[in-house]
Amino acid sequence: MTQTEDRLREVVRQKYAEISNAPRSGCSTSCCGSNEAAKDDFNMIGDAYDGISGYMADADLGLGCGIPVEHAALKPGQTVLDLGSGAGLDVFVARSEVGESGRVIGVDMTAEMIARARANAKQSGFDNVEFRLGEIEHLPVLSDSIDVVISNCVLNLVPDKRRAFAEIFRVLKPGGHFCISDIVSSQDLPDWVKGIAEAYAGCVSGAIPKEDYLLLIEETGFSHVEVASERRIQVPADLVAKSLTREQLDEAVNSDLHVLSVTVTAAKP
């Protein structure tokens, strides 16, 4: 683990601790936004969870970029693992799919998020959900023990994505699969993006090109790699202007540099 990876990981941890501790308001804070003020809020998912079974308002911090459970093909009785589970939103949605006979485990590296998720679970009386403190690159989960892995706008924040996908492969049962919603880029990001720690915590500079992302999954050993959904993320102009210099903005526009929300599925042979 390099010093740069350590620094970026700590930036992300601190940001999400702040989000967890912040009082809820009418606006949500997304992984691509800021929680400094309401005017900086940017929710990439909008009202997509409306009507979704298992939705819990207290667990919705507006951090997602997709709804992985929609494409995860969950079945009653399965054991599901949610990576970067936050306050537990996708864990509770997945629980509604696997039922009382199933089990859902959430892993998050931020202690404040784990505490909030556990409080939400206790309030709801769920006894088949569990939240564990840990990093995605070093999952506190037994090998070959998980039927389905899900994740929502989190892998882009992980410095060592190759290690993260290797861990996903390790914990899945043979024949198991994952469904991950994530942020990817249209092309290699310029050095000035990669070097901004705050942008990394905002899920910008942690994104890698879509083609590289899919290739990494295949190189890990997964089969049937498919993009279930894809859409371009339109970042509000005021947030872009606040984050970039005029020269950087011109470079981004001229090269059509942008980020995408993708939901990817793949299976462990």
**CB distance 147 to 103 below 8 Å:** no
The dihedrals phi and psi of 168, each to the nearest 5 degrees, come to -60, -45
Nearest CA to 61 out of 45, 80, 37, 39 is that of 45
Per the structure, how many domains does the chain have? 1
111 sits in which H/E element? helix 111-124
Whether residue 200 is predicted with pLDDT greater than 60 in this model: the reply is no
The structure tokens listed for 6 are 């350590």
CA distance 194 to 180: 23
- The CATH number given to whatever domain includes residue 89 is 3.40.50.150
Mind listing the pLDDT tens digit for each residue in 101-128? 999 999 999 999 999 999 999 999 999 9
pTM, two decimal places: 0.82
Largest Cα–Cα distance in the chain? Answer: 56
pLDDT in tens, 47-92: 778 889 999 999 998 888 899 999 999 999 999 999 999 999 999 9
**Rounded Cα distance, 208 and 264, in Å:** 14
Tokens of 196: 């901004």
Range of the domain at 13: 3-267
HSE-CB of 48 using CA atoms within 13 angstroms:
16
Q: How far apart are CA 262 and CA 241, in angstroms?
A: 25
